Structure 1
């Protein structure tokens, strides 16, 4: 079973780099991809894999450092407002529509609640930094990695 972990974020804006930091733990263990932003390049990164995990910083109003998991039950009904503002969920839906046989059978999105994505810094906030090992453990469990 081919698996990929995709980290999304900008390492120069404090907590926005959390997805990229999480992916570093898996380099050399499983295929990894880092994306500074998302568009149709996300579909390209998913094609040909059986299982995928996408990790990113999120802002949902929860406590910073909280881990939020999204799966098919959630993102199947989420729609973006227009073609210039595609959400990650809409991009995945387009991927399944255009490449149904090449997209992963399973995709899980792991979000880490961010605190600060505006300060120029390569260091995450303490609460977000503390969440990284928890996110890594969840991904390992999901992918069956020891």
Structure 2
């Protein structure tokens, strides 16, 4: 175990609320430990797998489009929950996060822990800027992500002091 923590903001800031993940990553710059990897991804599975390669913890921040939409509603999912989402219901991208996680598991490339923080979207049409419901939910989404980073660091520290394989 490396102790490496990666935060990936998935989305496209040029598609309205799909920019929520990248916005969270930008907000975290300078407010999480320097060894935390902060990255933005368009969600393409090959790039996602590369971003979290060798990480103990991956925190993914994503925009969700659900059939019964509640724009601005926040969700926290495990890798299993996210992978179990039906194709096309949970992601604003062609190949969803669920498929990416299933692929990573099949290839044995899944980090030890994956946490997905997501916000339900109102608008993913071309254009910059978040809708009011998503913009209002952003501080809570940022805080959830920050807490996940802190919990991952504490878990790494406990494993190191208890003789686990994690390193600084």
> Is TM more than 0.5 here?
yes
Gaps of 5+ in 2: 89-93, 152-168
Displacement after TM superposition at 1:36 (Å): 2.4
- State the partner residue of 1:111: 118
User: Is 1:97 paired with 2:99?
Assistant: no
Q: CA deviation at 1:46?
A: 1.0
Question: Are residues 1:87 and 2:87 paired?
Answer: no
Q: Structure 1's 49 and 77: CA in aligned 2 closer, same or farther, altered over 3 A?
A: same
The corresponding residue for 2:162 is none
Residue correspondences, number:
139
**What is the rounded CA distance, in whole Å, between the counterparts of 1:22 and 1:77 in structure 2?**
24
* Counterpart-to-counterpart distance in 1, 2:26 and 2:82: 26
Distance 2:55 2:123 in 1: 33
Number of the residue aligned with 1:72? 79
TM-score by length of structure 2 reads 0.73
TM-score using structure 1 length = 0.83
CA RMSD across the alignment: 2.1
Structure 1 residues 8-46: Cα deviation after superposition (integer angstroms, max 9, x where no partner)? 111112111111101112224321111124222111111
Whichever of the two has the greater Rg, that structure is: 2
Structure 1: state its 5+ residue gaps.
Answer: none
* Residues 80 and 63 (structure 1), Cα distance of their counterparts in 2 relative to 1, 3 Å cut: closer
